[in-house]
Amino acid sequence: MNAMTSEGPVLSIRHLTIQAKNKKIIDDLSLDFPPSSLTAVVGPSGCGKTTLVRSLNRMVELTPGLRVRGEVDYLGQNIYAPQVNPVMVRRRIGMVFQRPTVFPTTIFENAAFGLRLVHEDLEVIEKSVQDALERSGLWAEVKDDLDRPALSLSGGQQQRLCIARALAIQPRVLLLDEPTSALDPAATQRVEATMQRLKEDYVLILVTHNVGQAARVSDRVAFLHSGRLIEVGPTADVLERPREPLTQQFITGRFQ
């Protein structure tokens, strides 16, 4: 794979195969994620991109009937090793979903959720919540009413709150599964701006079916088709000069 920095990858997938009853959803896929990068995983519907990111923090195990083979190494440790607790994996590798998933409590408590789980004291929590909300670009809008119900926020604000919730426990990797698919263009733009700021400090992995979004925010694109990695490389290369005919067909919109 093309190493973009001299440091080793934070996350690396090795020969990952995810098997449903009689179909391989992910087929012998290997891919590295270097630090401070935003990789967009693109591909047609049903190509396995959501399953792929869900396998990176073992969320895939919540879907019954899927079998995972191969390795996903986080800083050199296979997260599927028997001694690894999936709960610890998910505290290091955060996730944001297609639709905002705020809990029916206050804005503050939503952002503080992960910290409450590990019993930090209030002073630490307050600092981390502010930091996370600033990083997710929501602080300016909510700093005066942190005690308001989170469900009263708009969809885009809710999604940025979900990003803040994931960031508050200081993961190094953030998985974003089509985070703007339920948002209007203005809210999408703000979430995209947030992602661009975050890629300085985190490994971001963004699933999107929107090639335009990949072009706007990512610095690497991985193209998936039928569970296989067809092509991966710097965004401009893959989107402007694809090597594979399948990639070419996808980005020119010939199949979806």
Partner 1 sequence: MALPSSTPETGQDLLFDRSGRTQWRLGFDRAAGWLLPLLFLVAIIPILDLVYYVGAQALPTLSLAVITNTNPRDPYALGVPIESTVEVMLWATAVAVALGLFGGVATAEFLGERAAGWMRMSANLLVGTPSVVLGYFGYFALVLGLGWGLSFVAGATTLAFFMTPYIFRVTDLAYSSIPRPIREAALGAGARPYQYVVKVAAPIAFPQILNGVFLAVAIGVGETAPIVLTSTHSVIVPPTLFSPVTFLTAAIWLNFSQPPGPALALAFQAAFLVLIVVVALNIVVRIISARYQKRLEGLYQ
| Chain residues in the site for partner 1 (CB under 8 A) | 57, 59, 62, 64, 87-88, 90-91, 94-95, 97-99, 101, 103-105, 113-114, 116-118, 151-152, 162, 165-166, 169
Report in angstroms how near the CB of residue 6 gets to partner 1 at its nearest.
30
Q: Which is nearer to partner 1, 97 or 202 (CB)?
A: 97
- C-alpha 29/C-alpha 127 separation (Å) is 40
- Do 227 and 242 contact (CB within 8 A), yes or no? no
Report in angstroms how near the CB of residue 78 gets to partner 1 at its nearest.
19
Report in angstroms how near the CB of residue 178 gets to partner 1 at its nearest.
12
Pairing of strands 37-42, 220-225: parallel
Q: What are phi and psi of 167, to 5 degrees?
A: -75, -25
Report in angstroms how near the CB of residue 171 gets to partner 1 at its nearest.
9
What are the residues facing 106 on neighbouring strands? 149
Q: Which is nearer to partner 1, 207 or 251 (CB)?
A: 207
Q: Which is nearer to partner 1, 62 or 140 (CB)?
A: 62
- C-alpha 156/C-alpha 251 separation (Å) is 27
- CB pairs under 8 A, 24+ apart, for 229-237? 229/29, 229/30, 229/31, 230/43, 232/1, 232/2, 232/31, 232/39, 233/2, 234/2, 235/40
Report in angstroms how near the CB of residue 55 gets to partner 1 at its nearest.
13
Per-state percent for the chain, helix, strand, coil, to nearest 5 = 40, 25, 35
Q: Which is nearer to partner 1, 120 or 237 (CB)?
A: 120
Q: Measured between alpha carbons, how far is residue 14 from residues 72, 79, 216, 220 in Å?
A: 6, 12, 28, 18
Report in angstroms how near the CB of residue 122 gets to partner 1 at its nearest.
16
Report in angstroms how near the CB of residue 29 gets to partner 1 at its nearest.
21
| H or E element that contains 38 | strand 37-42
- C-alpha 99/C-alpha 148 separation (Å) is 20
Q: Which is nearer to partner 1, 14 or 99 (CB)?
A: 99
For the chain, the residue count is 256
Q: Which is nearer to partner 1, 35 or 155 (CB)?
A: 155
Q: Which is nearer to partner 1, 158 or 208 (CB)?
A: 158
